[in-house]
Amino acid sequence: MLTYGSLFSFLCNACSNARSVLDLELLTVRIHPSIDRSFFLSRISSSSGVEFDHPSSIPWGSGDLKCSLSLGSIRFVWPSWGNEQESDESSKKPNKLYGWVTTDMGGGNPETVNLEVCFRSLMVAGGSQEKVERSMVVMQGWKDLPVELLLRILSLVGDDRTVVVACGVCKGWRIALSLGLTNLSLAWCKNNMNNLVQSLIPKLPKLQVLSLRQNYSPQLEDNDVETISKHCHELRDLDLSKSQKLTDRSLYALGHGCPHLAKLNISGCSGFTDASLEYLARCFKNLKYLNLCGCAKAASDRALHAISCNCNGLQSLNLGWCEGVSDKGVISLAAGCPDLQALDLCGCILITDESVVALANGCPRLRSLGLYYCQNITDRAMYSLANSLVSSKHGPWKIKKGYQSGLMSLNISQCTALTPPAVQAVCNSFPELHTCPGRYSLLISGCLSLTSVHCACAAQDNRASRSAFPNHAY
C-alpha cells in the first residue's frame, strides 16, 4: 500500500516528466473532497519536508494549496471541477502553458484510505487552457500512459533490459515502444541473444541504433541479421562485432534491407569475404564509419577500391590487423575518400611510405592515424606528414579559432626504422600531438631511439623547471 510520502514523490516525478514532455509550467493535482485538507497537508509536509504557499497568496481560491519546487509548481485542488465557483476562478488563471495530473483518492476515513486508487483515475494534459480542456485523456492505469511520457520514463531508467520487460507488459506498451523506440543494445545478453532478436526486433521497426556486440560467446546467426534487415529499414547504426558465426549472407541482407546505414561495426567477424564487402560498399553510399578490425578475409585491396569508389563521404575506417591490405588499397582510399578523419592501419604489415604519402596529400582532414607495427614505415613518411601542412592539394591545414585541425593522434609504436628528427618534425607541425604525461597522443612505445622526441608542452615544462632551479656557481 502506498503512503502519502510515496504519493508526493510520484507527483514530483510526474511533474518533472510532464513538464519536459508537454512543456508545462504548472501541474495541478485534484484531491477528492472527502480527504481533509489539513490532514493531507500535515501528512505531506511531515513526510517530504516541503512547505506550501499560504492559501491567501494563491489567486485560485482559498481552497487550494500550492508548493513551488525546482522542477516546477504543483497545485493541490479540493473543489470539484464541475463546481461553478472554480469555473469562475479558473478564468482568472494566467494565460500560459500549464497542465494537470489529477487523482481521485477515494472516499472514506483519510486514516485508512488506500492511496493506490489514485492510479486508477490519472489524467495528464498540457497546452493552453482551452486546448487542455479539449485534449484531456483519462487513464485507467499505467498501461494508458501517453507514448511520449512512457518513452521519457524508460529513457531515464537507462537499462535496455527494462525495455525488453516493458514490451511484455501489455499490448499498449508494446505498440508505444514500436512507435517510439529508436535505440537499443542487447550487448548485455549472455545467452540466447538470437532468440531475443527473433522475438523482439519485429516489434521495433523504428530502430535507428542497434548494438548486438557479442561480449561473451558468438550467438548471432545469419537468419537473425536477415530478421533485422526485414524489419528495421530505418537503421543508421549497427554493431555486430565479434559475431563469428555470421557469413556473407548477413552482409547481403543488410545491403538489401538497410539502405540508410551510416555506421557499421563488424570487427572480429572472420566469416565475411571481400565479395560481400564490395557489394555492401555499393549499397551504402552514405557510409561514414566502418570498423573492419580483424576482418582479414573481407578487407582486401579489391574491397577498399570498392569503398573508395562508392563511399566518398567515409570519415572513419578501422583496418587493424587486416594483413592483406597493401599500398594499392590505401592509395585508392586516399584518392576516393578525401573526408577521411580517422584511419587505423595497425598491424597492416604490407604498408610502406607510399600509403602515408598518399594520405598526407589526399586527406586534408585526417585527425587520427594508426601505424602500429607497420615496420616498413621510414622517415620519408614522417616528413610527408609534416610537409603536408602546406602542400596538400585540398588546401593547407590551418588552426582556426575554436576549431582544431591537423593530426591530433598518431600511433607509430614498434615502427623501429624511424629517427628522432623526422618524428620531431611531425610533432612540431601539429601542436595537438603530445608526448607529455597525461596527454599522450603521439604513441612511440617500443621505439627506444625516439625517447628524445618532445611536444611543445614538454619543452615549456623543461624551460620552466630550469628557471625554477637556476644553476649556482660553486
Per-residue pLDDT tens over the stretch 190-232:
888 999 999 999 989 999 999 999 988 899 999 999 999 999 9
Based on the fold, state whether residues 126 and 166 are members of the same structural domain: no
Sign of CA pseudo-dihedral 245, 251, 257, 262: positive
- Write down the pLDDT at residue 131: 43
Cα–Cα dist 343/316, whole Å: 6
Of 414, 419, 347, 427, residue with least CA distance to 386: 427
**Section 306-317 average pLDDT:** 97
- Write down the pLDDT at residue 144: 60
What is the band of 334 on the pLDDT scale with cuts at 50, 70, 90? very high
- Write down the pLDDT at residue 210: 97
Cell of 22: 508537454
Please check whether residue 297 lies inside any domain of the structure. no
Which range among 70-79, 123-132, 278-287 shows the weakest confidence by mean pLDDT?
123-132
Q: Phi, psi at residue 326, to the nearest 5°?
A: -125, -175
Please check whether residue 117 lies inside any domain of the structure. yes
Q: In the chain, what percentage of residues exceed pLDDT 90?
A: 49
What range defines the domain where residue 140 resides? 4-144
Based on the fold, state whether residues 29 and 111 are members of the same structural domain: yes
Cell of 290: 566502418
Cell of 382: 614522417
Q: Count Cβ atoms within 10 A of the Cβ of residue 410 and give its class: 0-12 exposed, 13-18 middle, 19 or more buried.
A: buried
Based on the fold, state whether residues 105 and 14 are members of the same structural domain: yes
Amino acid (one-letter) located at 78: W
Count of domains forming the chain: 2
Based on the fold, state whether residues 58 and 98 are members of the same structural domain: yes
Contacts 24+ apart (CB under 8 A), 82-87: 85/61, 86/61
Cβ-contact 331, 306 below 8 angstroms: no
Ramachandran region, residue 139 (left: φ > 0; alpha: ψ -120 to 50; beta: rest): beta
Based on the fold, state whether residues 85 and 108 are members of the same structural domain: yes
Q: Phi, psi at residue 222, to the nearest 5°?
A: -60, -40
Q: Phi, psi at residue 417, to the nearest 5°?
A: -85, -5
- Write down the pLDDT at residue 32: 57
What is the band of 444 on the pLDDT scale with cuts at 50, 70, 90? very high
Domain-terminating residue out of 164, 181, 198: 181
Based on the fold, state whether residues 70 and 168 are members of the same structural domain: no
This model's pTM is above 0.75: no
- Write down the pLDDT at residue 185: 92
* Other CB atoms within 10 Å distance of the CB of residue 96: 10
Based on the fold, state whether residues 22 and 103 are members of the same structural domain: yes
